[in-house]
């Protein structure tokens, strides 16, 4: 394995997997089930089950047929809708007592504040030396969305900048293979790695300070209404280890909400791939593409599901990546105790760490990683609020008529699973297709990620989006929190979503209000 960049950002046998990846990409484009679901213990569906599932999960479902089910967006795992900030922190509604105990232990690890090594608390040391947060909960506050820093004194623990540089020409084995070229198009910054850390333990300067400046843009709406959007500019200030690479590409990230992840992970890959239309064969202007990523855990290409560009295939791998990059904690999947530090940051790599022989030589062993994964997999989705309200029902019709459902696929049925009863064979309503869509230049970060281009983003799940302010104390949306309301988030849509966005601008004000009311009920 090369030593010029941290192993967290280098996929094992990166160049050797090219042929397998090309096959996987091609099968994904064709909508085939070639990728499979190696992370799940699947019991195959019967033909009769498949027929019933197709009827209830149509992209534009029969509203009268589905209304009775949609009140429970997580199926039997749905939890009651609390009126407090803890609304995203309940375990799956169908979890049994013994498994809830595992959930509680996983919650403890998720909330644990890590300290620098050496420490008398061996089970909690190993922080950093460079890091963005001391705990998972520090970014995913109350298991909800992170916050955008509101000024220079506001610690940006919920937001950071990813960084990468273009790969040298000829890095890919065959540059004519555009899909594999996309996959190999970027490398970490040679000094700063894959993301910028804004904290360091004693003796280790932080990598940077995040500065954000906003420009207000007024948008005229129908019926004399107006809205104001804020366009952000991001600066990596006070760089602690010299300048960034001159071709460095920066992309901001706000921590997303955690609910329903296990249900998204349990959706059959074939059902997601069936929605892909990369060449827009049906002519509707929507051409969703799957992101195909290399799984370190399973040593093969897999469908990307998690992250703003669908860059992670499973919750376990996403959790391990976050431990490494955000906190500087080693796990069996990413064993480097220095996290995201590069060879150019020699003091960081040589610093004390918390790898413990009692934990398999890691700072978080396999059991700990599994418990955090189990916790993340079983954060329940709250029930809908006021789904029978006439304005909500009107808003649902407006949502469908406007074409929002072309990307925000209303429903899926999860795999029948032998060992995950909470997620097994559930009719769910996440309002996402988990595919990549071109969202236009307004939202572009111009930074590729696996197959995702600089203008493409994964369709965000909408379930429980109306509880954002209650849980997180703010109502900011999109990958960088620039949108201060759901309407602003809609108005930032471009590219494939431009036509739907324009319909929202032009529709009667009453319909627009009903659409927002529907979203708030999810």
Q: Of 382, 430, 396, which Cα lies nearest the Cα of 515? A: 396
Residues 6+ apart with CB under 8 A from 444: 454, 455
Local structure of 195: helix, strand or coil: strand
Q: Of 39, 12, 31, 34, which Cα lies nearest the Cα of 23? A: 34
Please report, for residues 24, 26, 39, the alpha-carbon distance to residue 19 in angstroms, rounded to integers and kept in the order given.
Answer: 9, 11, 22
pLDDT along the chain (522 residues), means of 10: 34 36 44 74 94 84 71 97 97 98 98 90 87 95 90 68 83 41 71 96 95 96 98 96 96 96 98 94 93 92 96 97 96 95 95 83 95 98 95 96 96 97 98 98 94 96 98 94 97 98 98 98 96
- φ and ψ of 206, to 5 deg: -60, 155
Six-digit token string for 476? 């900011």
Taking the chain, what is the end-to-end CA distance rounded to the nearest angstrom?
46
Strands 209-220 and 249-254: unpaired
Bridge partners, 79 (sequence order): 382
Give the pLDDT of residue 203.
93
Please report, for residues 296, 316, 422, 463, the alpha-carbon distance to residue 192 in angstroms, rounded to integers and kept in the order given.
Answer: 22, 25, 40, 35
How many beta carbons lie within 10 A of that of residue 51, not counting itself? 10
* Angstrom distance (rounded) from CA 166 to CA 95: 46
* Angstrom distance (rounded) from CA 295 to CA 36: 13
Please report, for residues 70, 256, 364, 429, 452, the alpha-carbon distance to residue 404 in angstroms, rounded to integers and kept in the order given.
Answer: 17, 21, 41, 14, 21
Local structure of 370: helix, strand or coil: helix
DSSP secondary-structure letter at 158?
A: T
What residue has token string 């995950």? 420
Six-digit token string for 77? 């795992």
- φ and ψ of 25, to 5 deg: -60, -45
Please report, for residues 145, 234, 304, 437, 442, the alpha-carbon distance to residue 211 in angstroms, rounded to integers and kept in the order given.
Answer: 20, 6, 30, 28, 19
What residue has token string 């804004």? 198
* Angstrom distance (rounded) from CA 331 to CA 7: 12
Q: Where are the domains of the chain?
A: 7-521
Give the pLDDT of residue 48.
93
DSSP secondary-structure letter at 452?
A: B
Bond before 129 cis per omega within 30 degrees = yes
* Angstrom distance (rounded) from CA 187 to CA 291: 18
User: What is the 3-class SS of 301-320, one letter each residue?
Assistant: EEECCECCCCCECCHHHHHH
Give the pLDDT of residue 59.
75
Side-chain-side CA neighbours of 400 within 13 Å: the count stands at 12
- φ and ψ of 55, to 5 deg: -70, -35
Give the pLDDT of residue 515.
98
- φ and ψ of 492, to 5 deg: -80, -10
What angle is formed at CA 159 by the lines to CA 156 and CA 161, rounded to 5 degrees? 110
Give the pLDDT of residue 85.
97
Are 475 and 469 in contact by the 8 Å Cβ rule? The answer is yes
Give the pLDDT of residue 20.
47
* Angstrom distance (rounded) from CA 294 to CA 169: 21
Give the pLDDT of residue 171.
52
DSSP of 199-212, one letter per residue? EE-TT---S-EEEE
Six-digit token string for 325? 């990059």
Please report, for residues 116, 149, 257, 522, the alpha-carbon distance to residue 158 in angstroms, rounded to integers and kept in the order given.
Answer: 20, 8, 11, 24
Side-chain-side CA neighbours of 173 within 13 Å: the count stands at 11
CA quadruple 428, 435, 8, 118: dihedral sign: negative
């Amino acid at each position: 394995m090369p030593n010029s960049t941290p192993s967290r950002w280098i996929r094992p046998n990166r160049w050797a997997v090219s042929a397998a990846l090309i096959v996987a990409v091609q099968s994904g484009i064709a909508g085939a089930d070639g990728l499979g679901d190696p992370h799940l213990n699947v019991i195959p569906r019967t033909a009769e089950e498949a027929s019933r599932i197709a009827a209830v999960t149509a992209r534009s479902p029969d509203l009268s047929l589905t209304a009775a089910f949609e009140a429970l967006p997580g199926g039997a795992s749905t939890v009651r809708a609390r009126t407090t900030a803890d609304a995203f922190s309940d375990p799956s509604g169908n979890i049994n007592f013994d498994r809830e105990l595992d959930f509680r232990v996983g919650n403890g690890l998720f909330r644990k504040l890590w300290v620098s090594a050496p420490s008398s608390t061996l089970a909690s040391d190993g922080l950093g030396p460079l890091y963005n947060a001391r705990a998972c909960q520090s970014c995913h506050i109350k298991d909800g969305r992170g916050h955008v820093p509101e000024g220079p004194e506001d610690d940006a623990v919920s937001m950071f900048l990813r960084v990468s540089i273009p790969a040298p020409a000829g890095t890919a084995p065959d540059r004519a293979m555009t899909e594999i070229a996309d996959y190999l198009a970027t490398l970490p910054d040679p000094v700063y790695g894959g993301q910028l850390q804004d904290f360091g333990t004693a003796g280790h300067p932080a990598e940077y300070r995040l500065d954000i400046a906003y420009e207000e843009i007024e948008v005229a709406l129908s019926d004399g209404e107006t809205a104001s959007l804020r366009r952000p500019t991001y600066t990596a200030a006070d760089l602690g280890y010299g300048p960034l690479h001159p071709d460095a590409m920066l992309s901001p990230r706000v921590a997303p909400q955690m609910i329903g992840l296990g249900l998204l992970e349990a959706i059959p890959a074939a059902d997601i791939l069936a929605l892909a239309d990369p060449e827009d064969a049906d002519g509707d202007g929507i051409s969703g593409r799957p992101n195909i990523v290399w799984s370190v855990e399973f040593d093969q290409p897999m469908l990307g599901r998690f992250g703003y560009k669908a860059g992670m295939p499973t919750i376990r791998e996403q959790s391990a990546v976050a431990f490494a990059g955000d906190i500087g904690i080693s796990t069996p999947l990413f064993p480097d105790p220095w996290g995201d530090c590069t060879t150019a940051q020699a003091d960081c790599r040589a610093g004390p760490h918390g790898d413990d022989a009692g934990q398999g030589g890691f700072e978080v062993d396999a059991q700990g990683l599994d418990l955090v994964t189990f916790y993340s997999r079983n954060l329940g989705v709250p029930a809908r609020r006021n789904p029978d309200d006439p304005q909500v029902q009107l808003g649902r019709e407006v949502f469908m008529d406007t074409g929002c459902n072309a990307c925000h696929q209303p429903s899926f049925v999860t795999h029948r699973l032998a060992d995950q009863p909470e997620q097994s064979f559930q009719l769910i309503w996440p309002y996402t297709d988990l595919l990549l869509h071109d969202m236009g230049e307004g939202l572009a970060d111009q930074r590729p990620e696996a197959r995702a281009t600089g203008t493409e983003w994964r369709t965000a799940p909408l379930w429980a989006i109306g509880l954002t302010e209650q849980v997180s104390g703010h109502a900011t949306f999109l990958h960088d929190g620039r949108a201060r309301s759901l309407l602003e988030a809609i108005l930032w849509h471009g590219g494939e979503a431009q036509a739907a966005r324009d319909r929202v601008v032009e529709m009667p004000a009453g319909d627009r209000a009903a659409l927002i009311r529907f979203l708030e009920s999810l």
